């Protein structure tokens, strides 16, 4: 069987509103990604913070009606190391139910804010398995600046709790998540495409983006506690987002949303992580 000329890619989008943009603006920004993506045949996995089930129910309903998968992105975008396990467990249950009512479908997936599932925060997996989630997309495999899970496989695997993990696609050795966010916007696209083609034959790849990344009209602002060159680079990269992402999608073959891929019968390796957490719940 010959491989597809364009590598398979799943589109994922995080929907959170930490800058207080409001539901209407968030929808405009999400559509800057989703409308061109739909034209190319992509159905995305949209990771939504539970708060938005209260603040933007119409937006969630509309995204689901357009064929996108609704998944869970924690209640208030608190990274797992700062989360209270008991509260997380309760909110996972309540928000899952609310999102399912809006989507009209089971909500099966979870993404930790900031990919903050680490050896110290695997308590979250017990809570998610108990609540009926079937997969997560929460791990950067490797040692990387803020979070990261050293030793985790770089292709989809299974946790001992039974959940499937879709780890962030990374470059070997440097562990940079080259297919999403600021990495994708800052690196020249031909370089990304070259790496993607070399890595793409196993269908493990997905890209991630945020609705607010498409808010590219604003003037330059120096970021607090950030060197000027870095602040400028981030601003420049962000302004490229709205052009770069559709071009990446054009040079890829649409893969299914992560929830459908998690249900595949392909056997996956179970990852027995060496954990650094105490049983928290």
Which part of the chain contacts Zn ion (CB under 5 A), choosing from 29-37, 61-69, 107-115, 130-138?
107-115
**Span near Zn ion by CB under 5 A; candidates 90-98, 108-116, 117-125, 222-230:** 108-116
Segment near Zn ion (CB under 5 A), from 9-17, 159-167, 176-184, 235-243?
Answer: 9-17
Determine the angle formed by the axes of helices 57-65 and 85-103, rounding to 10 degrees.
60
Regarding 69 and contact with Zn ion (CB under 5 A), the answer is no
Of residues 214-253, those binding Zn ion (CB under 5 A)? none
Q: Which residues between 110 and 129 bind Zn ion (CB under 5 A)? A: 113
Of 14 and 95, which CB lies nearer to Zn ion in the complex structure? 14
Question: First vs last Cα of the chain: how many Å apart?
Answer: 48
Q: Are 11 and 39 in contact (CB under 8 A)?
A: no
Q: How far is the CB of 35 from Zn ion (least distance, A)?
A: 21
State how far the Cα of 82 lies from the Cα of 86, in Å rounded to an integer: 12
Tell me whether residue 14 or residue 215 sits nearer to Zn ion (CB atom).
Answer: 14
- Scanning 14-22, 95-103, 226-234, 242-250 for contacts with Zn ion by CB under 5 A, the matching segment is 14-22
Residue 14 lies near Zn ion (rule: CB under 5 A)? yes
Distances (CA, A) of 191 to 66, 187, 188, 196: 32, 7, 6, 9
Nearest distance in Å: CB 47, Zn ion: 7
Residue 213 near Zn ion by CB under 5 A? no
- Nearer to Zn ion by Cβ, of 8 and 139: the residue is 139
d(CA 89, CA 83): 10
Distance from chain centroid for Cα 174: 20
**Residue 14 Cβ, how far from Zn ion at the closest point, in Å?**
4
Q: Which residues contact 249 (CB under 8 A, 6 or more apart)?
A: 9, 11, 36, 37, 40, 42, 207
Alpha-carbon distance 258 to 42, whole Å? 12
Residues that bind Zn ion in the complex, under the rule CB under 5 A: 14, 16, 113
């Amino acid at each position: 069987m010959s491989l597809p000329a364009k590598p398979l890619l799943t589109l994922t989008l995080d929907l959170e509103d930490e800058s207080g943009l409001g539901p209407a603006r968030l929808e405009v920004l999400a559509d800057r990604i989703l409308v061109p993506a739909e034209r190319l045949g992509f159905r995305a996995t949209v990771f939504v913070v539970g708060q938005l089930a209260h603040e933007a129910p119409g937006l969630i309903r509309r995204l689901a009606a357009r064929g996108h998968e609704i998944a869970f992105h924690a209640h208030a975008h608190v990274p797992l190391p700062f989360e209270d396990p008991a509260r997380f467990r309760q909110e996972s249950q309540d928000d899952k139910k609310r999102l399912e009512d809006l989507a009209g479908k089971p909500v099966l997936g979870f993404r930790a804010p900031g990919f903050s599932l680490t050896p110290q925060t695997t308590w979250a997996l017990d809570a998610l398995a108990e609540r009926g989630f079937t997969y997560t997309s929460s791990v950067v495999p490797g040692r990387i600046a803020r979070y990261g899970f050293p030793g985790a496989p770089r292709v989809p695997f299974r946790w001992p709790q039974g959940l499937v993990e879709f780890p962030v696609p990374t470059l070997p050795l440097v562990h940079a998540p080259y297919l999403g966010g600021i990495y994708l916007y800052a690196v020249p696209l031909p370089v990304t495409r070259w790496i993607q083609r070399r890595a793409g034959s196993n269908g493990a790849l997905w890209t991630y983006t945020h609705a607010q990344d498409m808010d590219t009209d604003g003037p330059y602002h120096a970021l607090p506690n950030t060197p000027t060159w870095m602040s400028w680079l981030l601003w420049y990269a962000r302004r490229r987002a709205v052009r770069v992402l559709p071009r990446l999608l054009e040079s890829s073959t649409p893969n299914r949303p992560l929830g459908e891929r998690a249900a595949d019968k392909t056997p996956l390796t179970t990852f027995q992580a060496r954990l650094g957490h105490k049983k928290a719940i």
